[in-house]
Amino acid sequence: MDQMAAIRETFFQECDEQLTTLEAGLITMEEGDTSSDTVNAVFRAVHSIKGGAGAFKLNELVGFAHVFETALDKVRSGTLAPDADLLKLMLKSVDVLSDLVSASREGGEVSPDIGASVIEEFNDLLGSGAKHDDVDEFADIDFQPLIIDFGDPTPLAEPEKPEGNQFEIKFRPFRGMFDKANEPIMLFRELQRLGTVAINCNTANIPTFAELDVNESYLDWTINFTTEFNRQIVAEVFEFVEGDCELAITDLAAPIASSNEIDIEALMQRVRSQSPAPAPIPAPVVAEPAEIEALPVKPVAVSVEAKTSTKASAPVPATIRVDLERVDRLINLVGELVINQAMLTQRVFRSGNVTNSHVATSLEELEHLTRDLQESVMAIRAQPVRPLFQRMSRIIREVADATGKEVRLKTEGEATEIDKTVIELLADPLTHMIRNGVDHGLETPEERVAAGKPAEGVIRLSAAHRSGRVVIEVSDDGAGINRPKVLESAKRKGLVAPDAALTDAEIDNLLFLPGFSTAATVSNISGRSVGMDVVKRSIQALGGRITISSKPKAGSTFSMSLPLTLAVLDGIVVAIDDQTFVIPLTAIVETLQPSPENIHPLGDGAFVMRVRDSFVPLIDVGAEIGIRPRSSKPPNGVAILVETENRSRNALLVDAILDQRQVVIKSLETNYGRTEGVAAATILGDGRVAMILDVDTLVSNKRHEPAQFEEALAKTS
Amino acid sequence: MTITVLTIDDSRTMRDMLMMALTEAGFQVTQAEDGQHGLEVLALETPRVIVTDINMPRLDGFGFIEAVRREERYRSVPILVLTTESDDDKKMRARKAGATGWIIKPFDPVKLVAAIRRVAA
């Protein structure tokens, strides 16, 4: 990637950040905080996007940002009130801006229609003043940063100095000019580059030493200037001092004799040696202004008292940007280190050296360090969920618009951190759940008012750390799940037996069945995308689980429990025949040693186990994954009671439990291929590969239809 | 002698661009992310020329220039304002604060380099 392309990429990354800031700021304003800090931050975000876009000649983006910025500037200056309608329009503008950024990023043609209706709305609001009149300002500048070429009409390289135009320049600086670090000498040098100068310095106004004020300007100059350039270019030399000096540029008809010529270098020397260095004070007669009592400006410590937009300066946390690839490589290496450390420990113990307490202590320290190192490295990938949550506010606006519902998004725990990959993979399922929440969960404003609720519905999105996992909840204050309707629909579709009596929780879980949709009319919002079964599968693929709870008239809550990282997993190590497997701890409820009288055959080689007052299917893992034949004899071993995502319980039968530990996940799909019943692999301390079991698939492969299961159970008892 | 330039801009994109254009021109560049940060950097090393943005968090360009000019030892450091603000009020405000010159964004690196050389007399 060349440098320019890299900067372009930076620009788009920055756009994403600015859009996030912008949206968050507008939402804060919507909540009633219209302090100048908030408004300024919002303004700056749009301003910044416009500035960068201009440099890359993204004119559509510049044009829209300009209109948006103009409106924000009016809010900033207090001439436009940020009422609900304006903020709604501005939030819509964020969406347009975001679309324009995406379109520009992809580099295709950007349709000028994007945002046309929003611009119209702005124009209605602001008058035509918001039109981007100076879009040309950006259009005609070609940014060519790699070539620094001085061969243009205002050259810095020594131009030829032909006889040509003749000017007389009278120049008398005011004292204010020096306060801006402008120096006569730099102007003279610039003139010298453009032509031949003859400079005459008038020192007549310098007062006596006693009256001298070092900060006053006493000198003036008359310059005879011969150049091939025109008057405008000559005037441009004085551009920065305009207003800070008396300046007269007169065209002279004919070249004049340069008898008064002063060597510019000599003049410069003089000015320098006479100035109290380094300040470029123009009263160049005394070296040390010893008699001056008070300087007009007292030195001030360079700490800034809040005057403009300053706040107590919060220190900017130092950050560096690192390629994700490097971080991942580091994580991988640390993973290997963890495995190696485990192997080392195991070997030392086997060698009998454990009697040496120094060795044991060192090994223990190594283990702690490795664990700390691993946690620190994992933390690098962790990111707050805030940007993800903020993206959802756009979804809400779109769905609210399309359905005519009034919705407010409330978020909690946006600072909660979670693995970057998890965040990325969470976007789609979360989007769908939010859509569902607004579309199916919330009632129309009329229905809400009739039910005694505020017309505006609330979607709550929260994140929190709970016992080593992140729990993300999406809830609505709508009507709750219409259970009779769900049940009826499921029966009609043959998803449950016509006479099945299900508990509330079981009915709620029907929503997760493939092919289920409750909306009587499939709207173009939720209907166009996936069902809750896909949401559930995505969450499961992340090593998470999703549950649902609902209260009639009060609303529903979808709760997702996710691992903090996809790189390690806590599990128990079990033995089946001579093989070793890992079962994720999150799925495990308890472990049991079943006594033979608690195990009942169901026929066709299946067994159930009595766990206190209920029966659960007993799954012989070894037979299920095909490493040993199915046995018709009551199996023996250790039963591990697991709970799946839909809260059904099963017992997994293994030969023995060996250990409980954290394992580093190695993708089986990347290294081998997808295998039913196996989620991933890991390397154990003794160097052997162990498969991590996919409990949900194991159980669902084995699971009997509810009816069949009940029937079989009835026979046995 | 190498001309040292301090660039102040809250946009990473602009900072990167300035870094590229100015390094290419042979200047030695130090960067700051806003006015406040600029003052902190200034306390450590005095550049020959400062190029600053106006709209920035914490301390904007106006505040930065005023703060710099309040201090005697920085009064001779030329400050160029690089901004998208083209309206005259803002320009006047920057001048009043003590800006040496200004360049309207999107900046033309040739112009900027020329301006820096000009004020770094």
Query: In CATH, what number is assigned to the domain containing residue A522?
Result: 3.30.565.10
Q: Do A186 and B121 touch (CB under 8 A)?
A: yes
Which domain CATH number covers A116? Answer: 1.20.120.160
Question: Hey, how many other C-beta atoms are within 10 angstroms of the C-beta on A280?
Answer: 22
What is the CA A410 to chain-centroid distance, rounded?
19
3-class secondary-structure state, position A300:
coil
Q: What is the structure's pLDDT at A615? A: 87
Residues 6+ apart with CB under 8 A from A45: A18, A19, A21, A22, A25
| Segments in chain B below pLDDT 70 | 85-87, 105-107, 121
Q: Are A434 and A392 in contact (CB under 8 A)?
A: yes
Q: Nearest-CA neighbor of A277 among A230, A214, A223?
A: A214
Tell me, yes or no, whether A602 and A676 share the same domain.
yes
Tell me, yes or no, whether A627 and A693 share the same domain.
yes
The verdict on whether omega for the bond into residue A278 sits within 30 degrees of 0, i.e. cis, is: yes
Q: What is the structure's pLDDT at A467? A: 66
**What average pLDDT does this structure show over A700-714?**
52
Q: Do B21 and A316 touch (CB under 8 A)?
A: no
Tell me, yes or no, whether A339 and A253 share the same domain.
no
- Indicate the Cα dihedral angle A560, A566, A568, A570, nearest 10°: 20
Q: What is the CA radius of gyration of chain B?
A: 13
Q: Are A638 and A656 in contact (CB under 8 A)?
A: yes
Chain B contacts of A3, Cβ < 8 Å?
20
> Is residue A571 over pLDDT 80?
yes
For chain A, positions 117-136, list CB contacts with chain B under 8 A: 134
**C-alpha–C-alpha distance, residues A69 and A361, integer Å:** 64
Q: What is the structure's pLDDT at A565? A: 72
Tell me, yes or no, whether A524 and A555 share the same domain.
yes
Q: What is the structure's pLDDT at A703? A: 47
Residues 6+ apart with CB under 8 A from A385: A413, A414, A416, A417, A418, A423, A463, A470, A472
Distance from CA of A236 to the nearest CA of B (A): 11
Residue with the larger pLDDT of the pair A321 and A287 = A321
Structural domain includes residue A47: yes
Q: Are A445 and A410 in contact (CB under 8 A)?
A: no
Which domain CATH number covers A679? Answer: 2.40.50.180
**What average pLDDT does this structure show over A579-608?**
85
Interval A110-145: pLDDT, tens: 676 777 888 888 888 776 544 444 443 333 333 323
Q: What is the structure's pLDDT at A58? A: 84
Residues 6+ apart with CB under 8 A from A142: A57
Chain A contacts of B84, Cβ < 8 Å?
47, 50-51, 54
Structural domain includes residue A299: no
**Structural domain total, chain A:** 5
Q: Are A324 and A13 in contact (CB under 8 A)?
A: no
**What average pLDDT does this structure show over A180-190?**
82
The minimal CB distance from B121 to the residues A148, A183, A299 is found for A183
**C-alpha–C-alpha distance, residues A243 and A598, integer Å:** 99
Interval A201-223: pLDDT, tens: 888 888 888 888 877 888 888 88
| A558 DSSP β-pair partners | A474, A548
Tell me, yes or no, whether A404 and A517 share the same domain.
yes
Report the chain A residue with the minimal C-alpha distance to residue B32: A316
Helix axes A84-106, A386-403, angle to 10 degrees: 110
A240 touches chain B (CB under 8 A): yes
Q: What is the structure's pLDDT at A558? A: 92
A628 touches chain B (CB under 8 A): no
Q: Do B72 and A299 touch (CB under 8 A)?
A: yes
Q: What is the structure's pLDDT at A112? A: 66
3-class secondary-structure state, position A332:
helix
Q: Count the residues in chain A.
A: 717
Q: Are A647 and A547 in contact (CB under 8 A)?
A: yes
Q: Are A357 and A683 in contact (CB under 8 A)?
A: no
A154 touches chain B (CB under 8 A): yes
Lowest-confidence pick of A283-292, A505-514, A688-697: A283-292
Q: What is the structure's pLDDT at A476? A: 92
Residue with the larger pLDDT of the pair A242 and A267 = A242
Q: Do B13 and A11 touch (CB under 8 A)?
A: yes
Tell me, yes or no, whether A494 and A579 share the same domain.
no
Which sign does the torsion angle of CA B79, B85, B89, B90 carry?
Answer: negative
> Is residue A56 over pLDDT 50?
yes
Tell me, yes or no, whether A559 and A578 share the same domain.
no
Helix axes A3-30, A84-106, angle to 10 degrees: 160
Among A345, A368, A383, which residue terminates a domain?
A: A383
Structural domain includes residue A341: yes
| A610 DSSP β-pair partners | A615
Report the chain B residue with the minimal C-alpha distance to residue A282: B76
Q: Are strands A382-384 and A689-693 parallel, antiparallel or unpaired?
A: unpaired
Lowest-confidence pick of A237-241, A280-284, A332-336: A280-284
Nearest-5° angle of CA A473, CA A476, CA A477? 135
Lowest-confidence pick of A18-32, A469-483, B91-105: B91-105
Give residue A379's domain range: 325-383
**C-alpha–C-alpha distance, residues A555 and A569, integer Å:** 34
Structural domain includes residue A144: no
Tell me, yes or no, whether A664 and A614 share the same domain.
yes
CA atoms lying within 13 Å on the CB side of residue A686? 10
**What average pLDDT does this structure show over A41-63?**
86
Which domain CATH number covers A216? Answer: 3.30.70.240
Phi–psi pair at B4, nearest 5 degrees? -95, 135
Chain A contacts of B16, Cβ < 8 Å?
6-7, 10
Phi–psi pair at A246, nearest 5 degrees? -95, 125
Q: What is the structure's pLDDT at A473? A: 93
Residue with the larger pLDDT of the pair B105 and A525 = B105
Tell me, yes or no, whether A641 and A655 share the same domain.
yes
Q: Are A284 and A178 in contact (CB under 8 A)?
A: no
Helix (H) or strand (E) holding A388: helix A386-403
* ipTM exceeds 0.90, yes or no: no
Q: What is the CA radius of gyration of chain A?
A: 38
Q: Nearest-CA neighbor of A637 among A698, A695, A592?
A: A592
**H-state helical runs in A197-323:** 231-237, 264-274
Interval A391-443: pLDDT, tens: 888 888 888 888 888 898 898 988 888 888 888 888 888 988 898 888 888 99
Q: Do A304 and B114 touch (CB under 8 A)?
A: no
* C-alpha to C-alpha distances, A650 to A489, A614, A653, nearest whole angstrom: 28, 11, 10
Tell me, yes or no, whether A330 and A225 share the same domain.
no
**C-alpha–C-alpha distance, residues A490 and A486, integer Å:** 6
Q: What is the structure's pLDDT at B63? A: 92
Structural domain includes residue A526: yes
**H-state helical runs in B27-108:** 35-44, 61-70, 88-97
Distance from CA of B111 to the nearest CA of A (A): 9
Percent of chain A at pLDDT exceeding 90? 7
Structural domain includes residue A215: yes
Q: Are B48 and B5 in contact (CB under 8 A)?
A: yes
Q: Do B71 and A299 touch (CB under 8 A)?
A: yes
* C-alpha to C-alpha distances, A580 to A77, A575, A661, A684, nearest whole angstrom: 70, 5, 13, 9
**C-alpha–C-alpha distance, residues A126 and A68, integer Å:** 11
Interval A67-77: pLDDT, tens: 888 888 888 88
Burial environment of residue A147 by CB neighbours within 10 A (0 to 12, 13 to 18, 19 or more): exposed
Residues 6+ apart with CB under 8 A from A426: A388, A472, A542, A562
- Count CB pairs under 8 A between chains A and B: 176
Among A383, A404, A423, which residue terminates a domain?
A: A383
Structural domain includes residue A454: yes
Interval A629-641: pLDDT, tens: 877 776 778 999 9
Residue with the larger pLDDT of the pair A311 and A117 = A117
**What average pLDDT does this structure show over A300-304?**
39
DSSP A673: -
Residue with the larger pLDDT of the pair A653 and A317 = A653
Distance from CA of B6 to the nearest CA of A (A): 15
Q: What is the structure's pLDDT at A306? A: 38
**What average pLDDT does this structure show over A692-708?**
67
Interval A249-268: pLDDT, tens: 888 764 444 444 445 555 45
- Assign A149 a pLDDT band (cuts: 50, 70, 90): very low
Q: Are A560 and A472 in contact (CB under 8 A)?
A: yes
Q: Are A178 and A215 in contact (CB under 8 A)?
A: yes
Structural domain includes residue A307: no
Report the chain A residue with the minimal C-alpha distance to residue B105: A51
Chain B contacts of A137, Cβ < 8 Å?
86, 104
Tell me, yes or no, whether A581 and A528 share the same domain.
no
**What average pLDDT does this structure show over A673-679?**
79
Helix (H) or strand (E) holding A536: helix A532-541
The minimal CB distance from A148 to the residues B24, B69, B95 is found for B24
For chain A, positions 55-94, list CB contacts with chain B under 8 A: 55, 57
- Assign A580 a pLDDT band (cuts: 50, 70, 90): very high
Tell me, yes or no, whether A216 and A178 share the same domain.
yes
**Domains delineated in chain B:** 4-119 (3.40.50.2300)
pTM of the model: 0.52
Q: Do A51 and B16 touch (CB under 8 A)?
A: no
Q: Are strands B4-8 and B28-32 parallel, antiparallel or unpaired?
A: parallel
